[in-house]
Structure 1
Amino acid sequence: MKSIPQASAALVTGASSGFGAAIARSLAKESRPVIGLARRSARLEQLREEIGVDLFHPVAVDVRDADAVAAALDGLPERFADIGILVNNAGLSKGFGPVQHAASADWQEMVETNINGVLNCTRAVLPRMLAAGYGHIVNLGSIAASYPYLGGNVYGATKAFVRQLSLNLRTDLDGTGLRVTCVEPGMAETEFALVRYDGDQDRARALYENLTPLSAEDVANAVVWCLAQPVHVNVNLIELMPTQQLFGLGFSGAAVPEKVRK
């Protein structure tokens, strides 16, 4: 088993905000080169200005486009070409209604991003890791994979896929020295809720009423901790949530704030 060299880069998807941006900052603070992949190029450029050109390389691409992901990684500068860490963070939830009222377009967007996006990036990076003989894949899942809640139907199913894929990857990679981890956060206050509610600030804020949610930095700390374990230790799964959260979304359907439910 080989340790990941300090000069080896980390590829972080969904790096333009939330967990991804926090993970990129945390890894760069450890002097590790970071490739930030996301659709919003302006956000990525801001992050490069903050972190520095020597430690952060922006890649504006949609994880749903397998060919574009592969082409972008083939064109990396030399300093960022050796990818030893992949953090599959890009993901989203759209809509919050029961399955019988949900929009199929929302389902499709979640499946294409949360499932196909993870597969596309893993397929692009994994051969590099196998050739090098070292690597660590960290997939960002969700407690929604284990704890159902009102309106979490297809989103929870996509995150259950992420968990199971992580475990099966771990099995497939037996004997290679590569490690695989799934990090499953609970309620966290990022732009995630704004995306779910199409930018409705009131509904997004209502989700966190009377609760101190996780921050993006809390989740980044968990990812960095998993990566920092000795090479003979694989953290298969780590689940974290606010102390005030009682699984799911922490309340029964009847208690869901009206601004959230509608």
Structure 2
Amino acid sequence: MSRVAAAIGRRNREAAGALVGYLPVGFPDLPTSIEAAVALVENGVDVLELGLPYSDPVMDGVVIQDATQRALANGFRLQHGFEAVHAIVERTGAPVLVMTYWNPVLRYGVDRFADDLAAAGGAGLITPDLIPDEAAGWLATSDRTGLDRVFLAAPTSTGTRLRRAVELSRGFTYAVSTMGITGERADVARSARDLVERMRAVGSDSACVGIGISTGEHVREVLEYADGAIVGTALVRALADGGVAGVARTAAALAAGTLG
């Protein structure tokens, strides 16, 4: 079984569900980003989502954009992503997914990227701008390497597209709570619950909701109907404002929401 799916399944048996935490590699610098990711695991995050900084982050809000642009300005290179994954997995044993837009993978070489990620101990990829209909090469490579592939489902997804995303995802399917970019919001959109219900209807047994989840109460609310809650912006802001100690405190507060 996928390490990600196993972790999510375990937390659904032990608690209300799983917490997936996002941080960008290289922010504010590479060593600190590794320490921050380790702190997430030590404070209740079950699955790590490490973002690769990219020059055109179309899905990311201002907080994450600023962090990734700072990482790039400080000299982030793709190889640093593999180094970070290896260091974090070695220290925590937690499943680590890499979130990346597809162009860097293409430029690096799909097979080469997958082999280097697997060698580093990574669990797979979240690919926000790669749809299943255009993913034949990645499907074959992820099958060869055993890496997870997490596709996105949105409130506007057609029934056919939704079914394909659910059928072809491995680890979990990423349910986008609302249309728009990432960021903290006062409430989780009702559309998230409706989307997960549609995903269940086409066979999803591992749906995690992301975008707009900012508090432990949000996590608790999402886990009433989803298998996992994904938090990014709140953690990135905490790291920017309070360093590793700040992001650890925020992770612990979010993780309290998994206890029901």
TM-score, normalization by structure 2:
0.36
Higher normalized helix content (fraction of residues): 2
- The higher relative CO (CA closer than 8 Å, separation ≥ 6) is in 2
TM-score, normalization by structure 1:
0.36
